[in-house]
Structure 1
Amino acid sequence: MSTNIVWHEASISKEERRTQNKHSSFILWFTGLSASGKSSVANAFARTLFERGNQAFVLDGDNIRHGLNKDLGFDEESRKENIRRIGEVAKLFVESGQIVTTAFISPYQADRDTVRELVAEGEFLEIYVECSVEECERRDPKGLYKKARNGEIPNFTGISAPYEAPVNPEIVLNTVHHSIEECVAQLTAILTEKGLI
């Protein structure tokens, strides 16, 4: 790590950006198994925010691995680095006054806690997209569970790699018992009640 770097203060503060946007900025961290509905809910909710005039952006696990994190694999250390990088990017969105929704399996509680520590109190909301591995495997929209069961995908979360469900998430959305639209409605109600949107 270079020692010849100095932090340069921005000319526009986070608070000024929030004032201009007329809303707070924070991270909605969607975590859950593959095929639990993380990306679907995150994107549907981002559309809701957009239609309300909120500045919002979705960081999606697969999409990020096409660019920023295309050099990473799926072993434990690579997964940790994947989440570390995303956390830093999400923090930039918060600083820019935007709402950022992230859809990542992010299987380890410690990694999610590391991202939480990057931002101020109240700027990170962990959303557990609860869905049983049996239901996720039944859905299997990308055929990944089938490949994992056949030994074609090593270190597959929920099958050959662990998933640590959130200990105390701010929000739980159950996609077995609720549709995407119902989850978005629940999320909208919760964040409205909290005064965040």
Structure 2
Amino acid sequence: MTRSTFDIAAFEDLVHARRDVRHFRTDPLNEAEVEQLLALAHSAPSVGLSQPWRFVRIVTPALRERLAAHVDDQVAKAGKIYDGNEDKLYRSLKLHGLREAPVLFAVYCDEGTETGHRLGAMTMPEARRYSCVMAIHTLWLAARIHGIGLGWVSIIDPATVDAMLEIPENWRCLGLLCLGYPVSEEATPELERRGWERRTDWHSTIVTR
């Protein structure tokens, strides 16, 4: 493809419009659309073409509630490091949409996969996890194009989630993904709107030696 094939401005708008969504409508998603999003995620780059991502869909209401209760517990434990106004703000934040989002996945990295013949992963085995993150980000952007929001929930105890889902030994949990239509469209990240943190200027991330 040539540069002229792409709408550069539209892509830039897409990147800036991506949000980590916590407030979901309960409207169901079209299953064909969900399949399309997963197919796009599967097109992400991966070390050695190993494609190590594994998406585990949660469909049982009781299991969803167990996961939501687990995350609620982890949120409370994680919040013990805060005090004063920071603690008050932390307690007011909505940090997941596990109960409302119509589609829920646990996403894993298969660190024992033989696909790709371990190319690129012999010296940096963590590159498989980086590949999975690329798949998640691809899914995130693809969902945004379709007007669907994604929330990445990382306040979990992986071992507890693994036990709930009966996950194979070589799989490593990267989090829970909530998919659904957002309650509202927002131009600014929620944590910035609520005063938790501000996005830094990209120049501040450059280190020269």
The answer to whether TM tops 0.5 is no
TM range (shorter): under 0.3
TM-score normalised by structure 2 residue count: 0.27
TM-score, length-scaled by structure 1: 0.28
